[in-house]
Amino acid sequence: MQRLVVIGGGAAGFFCAVNAARLHPALEVIIAEKGSRVLNKVRVSGGGRCNVTHACFERADMIKKYPRGTHFVKKAFHQFFTTDTIEWFAARGVTLKTEPDGRMFPVTDSSQTIIDCLLKEANRYGVQLRMNRDVTTLDRSGDRWNIQFANGELIEADYVCVACGGYPKASMFDWLKKTGHSIEEPVPSLFTFNMPGNPITKLMGVSVEKALVRITGTKLQEEGPLLITHWGMSGPAVLRLSAWGARVLNAGQYEFTAMVNWLPQHNEQSLRDLLGELRFELARQKMNNKNPFGLPQRLWEYLLEQSGIKDDIRWADLPAAGQNKLVKLLSAQEFAVKGKTTFKEEFVTAGGIRLQEVDANTMMSKLAQGLFFAGEILDVDGVTGGFNFQHAWTSGWIAANAIAAAAGGHR
Ligand SMILES: Cc1cc2nc3c(=O)[nH]c(=O)nc-3n(C[C@H](O)[C@H](O)[C@H](O)COP(=O)(O)OP(=O)(O)OC[C@H]3O[C@@H](n4cnc5c(N)ncnc54)[C@H](O)[C@@H]3O)c2cc1C
């Protein structure tokens, strides 16, 4: 009997294991998990609801959500896409629903539904779960793999799928480097910006539906919802920036200037013209009473205060200096960022197994026979919104199919 050992009992590992076991019933499939529980991240993901995938049905749009691995996922999505994820779960009684921002969750709003489904599949196809198995060495002798665990146990396998997730430190990859693979240095992605001591933090809880955030000195910019927190800024625009800027921001030790345009439909000039018109239109009204841009009232009052515009001033009496400052703050307010905070809902590691060394059509190593990779261990990561799980499902499924085919099963 041929044997597949999947290293790591997370989303990618389970998807590989259950699909391989289903496609090739004669294959012995073992999941070796370092911890005492499987599917831990699935459990906590999406605030306990599991954001399984994203309602994005165009590959060309989808690949733009992966700051690292764009070309790799482009190939992979031809084999298993978001639509396939939705169907795969639906065929097993798990219906997904779409939220207005495109994120997809189980209709139960519980990640346990996804866990139960994967565990049921594992049980149905006889996948063996071995907990507390921390792989320390992986090497090949003859035409089999030797998998050595920290507890001294050793097992052999014909096929190995490494699905051990993202490692935050380069040294944690040492056991994998021995397979001949090289590693893109890991750095965190999906974090929020710290702005210690900045008065904006007094507005914690205020959110703006659409702001444009730029990182000065780079080409990085993102438009979208922005949330002010007690330590700085968060929200989709910031998280996406953190993902696209993961490497450059790490290189600068997370010290940079973020520039916010609170009204991205305007630039400095169009705003200047508009304020000029508003002085006449709203002449008799007090500026702090009348917020003509639909910004949250607390933010509007803060921007007036920062512009040195007094509380009771009327639009007609707006001094030129105040007007200039307000235009500047509305269109390009600068914030000194010092440090980052991990986003509690979803964070990932950028970096991992170098993609040139893995075939995106099979997830098979180009360097070692019978060795496959799936999930976050690869140098692929997406922005928030279900894109990281989609990559886990896609790569796990492709690896399963390639392993089943190599072992002589059906594709
Ligand atoms: C709090 C949080 C919430 C998230 N929410 C979402 C979300 O809603 N939607 C989304 O798309 N993404 C989300 N993500 C990201 C997503 O969870 C990951 O991208 C995804 O889980 C990666 O799956 P994986 O199977 O590759 O790795 P993991 O889920 O990390 O699983 C890897 C497994 O391998 C085990 N392992 C590691 N080393 C060894 C070893 N040497 N031997 C044996 N076992 C080992 C680990 O213990 C772990 O169980 C979230 C992440 C976090 C941290």
Q: Give tens-digit pLDDT for 97-112.
A: 999 999 999 999 999 9
Torsion angle defined by CA atoms of residues 215, 219, 225 and 230, in that order, rounded to the nearest 10 degrees? -10
Distance 12 CA to ligand 1 centre (A): 8
Confidence at residue 204, expressed as pLDDT on a 0 to 100 scale? 97
Distance 367 CA to ligand 1 centre (A): 25
Residue ID of nearest Cα to ligand 1 atom 5: 45
- Residue 343 pLDDT level (bands cut at 50, 70, 90): confident
Most ligand 1 atoms within 8 A of CB, residue of 136, 172, 381, 389 to mutate = 389
Q: Is the CB of 18 under 6 A from ligand 1?
A: no
Higher pLDDT, 289 or 225: 225
Q: Is the CB of 137 under 6 A from ligand 1?
A: no
Most ligand 1 atoms within 8 A of CB, residue of 41, 89, 189 to mutate = 41
What are the pLDDT digits (tens) for 371-408?
Answer: 999 999 999 999 999 999 999 999 999 999 999 999 99
- 68 by Cβ neighbours in 10 Å (0-12 / 13-18 / 19+) ranks as buried
Residue type, 279: R
pTM score: 0.95
Confidence at residue 73, expressed as pLDDT on a 0 to 100 scale? 98
For strands 340-342 and 348-353, give the pairing: unpaired
Confidence at residue 199, expressed as pLDDT on a 0 to 100 scale? 96
Confidence at residue 345, expressed as pLDDT on a 0 to 100 scale? 81
Confidence at residue 366, expressed as pLDDT on a 0 to 100 scale? 98
Confidence at residue 410, expressed as pLDDT on a 0 to 100 scale? 53
Q: Is the CB of 35 under 6 A from ligand 1?
A: yes
Confidence at residue 291, expressed as pLDDT on a 0 to 100 scale? 85
Helix, strand, coil share of the chain (percent; to 5): 35, 25, 35
Distance 282 CA to ligand 1 centre (A): 54
Mean pLDDT on 308-316: 92
What are the pLDDT digits (tens) for 12-69?
Answer: 999 999 999 999 999 999 999 999 999 999 999 999 999 999 999 999 999 999 999 9
Q: Is the CB of 376 under 6 A from ligand 1?
A: yes
Q: Is the CB of 134 under 6 A from ligand 1?
A: yes
Instruction: Give CA–CA dist 123/212, Å, rounded.
Output: 48
Q: Is the CB of 386 under 6 A from ligand 1?
A: yes
- Residue 322 pLDDT level (bands cut at 50, 70, 90): very high
Mean pLDDT on 264-268: 95
- CA count, 13 A, side-chain hemisphere, 363: 37
Confidence at residue 406, expressed as pLDDT on a 0 to 100 scale? 97
Q: Mean pLDDT over all residues of the chain?
A: 96
Q: Is the CB of 99 under 6 A from ligand 1?
A: no
Per-residue pLDDT at 353 exceeds 60? yes
Instruction: Give CA–CA dist 323/115, Å, rounded.
Output: 56
Instruction: Give CA–CA dist 84/304, Å, rounded.
Output: 51
Instruction: Give CA–CA dist 48/158, Å, rounded.
Output: 36
Residue ID of nearest Cα to ligand 1 atom 35: 8
Mean pLDDT on 79-100: 98
Mean pLDDT on 183-212: 97
